[in-house]
Amino acid sequence: MSARDDILANIRRSLGVTGRETIRTQIVEERIERAPKGLIPARGQVSGEERLAMFKAQAEAALATVTEVSSPADVPRSIASYLRDHNLPATLRMGADLRLKAMPWGETSLDMSHGPSAGGDLNAVSHAFGGVAETGSLVMISGPENPSTLNFLPDNHIIVVAEKDITGDYEAVWSKVRFAFGKSSMPRTVNWITGPSRSGDIEQTMLLGAHGPRRLHIVVVRE
């Protein structure tokens, strides 16, 4: 038992409860549901093509590049073209994400490697949990499917996101995370990525790649 569990157990004993009483649980859930919601910017309250257009505009304003494909099967060729057009090596590291693994990488000449990055990879691909239109951000869930090292160590990070997973605002994404994982199994880390890494600390001069990838390329799957 952890110190936290020990403290909570002592509180429950002093109150004469176990923490599993149905009525008490319902009262708490209703109180949380009635609590006033935070202010959500109106900018992201759009849908359909307008939402996708806003996501692209905000991502590009943050110095990311965006490409659209019509199905997951088109992703490997699109990524191979991106690497070739930017004169980058035809190498790519990815985690164990089943959506990525199901794509036809064998139809390209890419040299694929798998697992977390140790810092020597130039290019990596990840699959986002979702995106946010109001800021052009991507939401990354940690785990062997999409190791967090791929978010920060390679010079060039390519992120695949399904159009259906792009929401208007942050609050909507957090609701999806809670629904997908549940209260007792939330991911250890949720990273929010908006554009490539940058810093203006030195003489207020913008430097890309200061703390992570120099390039961020987004592939939106419109299936």
- Full pLDDT tens readout for the chain, 223 residues: 689 888 988 998 998 888 888 998 899 889 988 888 788 888 889 999 999 999 999 999 999 999 999 999 999 999 999 999 999 999 999 999 999 999 999 999 999 999 999 999 999 999 999 999 999 999 999 999 999 999 999 999 999 999 999 999 999 999 999 999 987 788 889 999 999 977 766 666 666 656 779 999 999 999 7
> Which residues have a Cβ under 8 Å from the Cβ of 154 and sit 6 or more positions away?
93, 117, 121, 122, 123, 124, 213
Residue 20: domain span: 3-34
Same domain as 24, residue 98 = no
- Structural domain contains residue 39: no
Distances (CA, A) of 29 to 33, 34, 114: 6, 9, 42
Same domain as 8, residue 115 = no
**How many domains does the chain divide into?**
2
Q: Give pLDDT, residue 92.
A: 98
Q: Give pLDDT, residue 159.
A: 98
Q: Give pLDDT, residue 18.
A: 86
- Structural domain contains residue 40: no
Q: Give pLDDT, residue 208.
A: 63
Cβ count near 145 (within 10 Å): 17
Of residues 135, 128, 215, 212, the one with CA closest to residue 176: 128
Which residue do the tokens 């849908």 mark?
A: 47
Same domain as 163, residue 77 = yes
- Rounded to whole angstroms, how far apart are CA atoms 32 and 36? 9
Q: Which strands sit side by side in the sheet containing 111-114, from one edge to the other? A: 65-69, 215-221, 156-162, 123-127, 91-94, 111-114
Same domain as 128, residue 26 = no
Q: Which long-range contacts (CB under 8 A, 24 or more apart) does 199-208 make?
A: 208/63
H helices of 16-164, in order, are 22-34, 48-61, 75-85, 98-101, 149-152
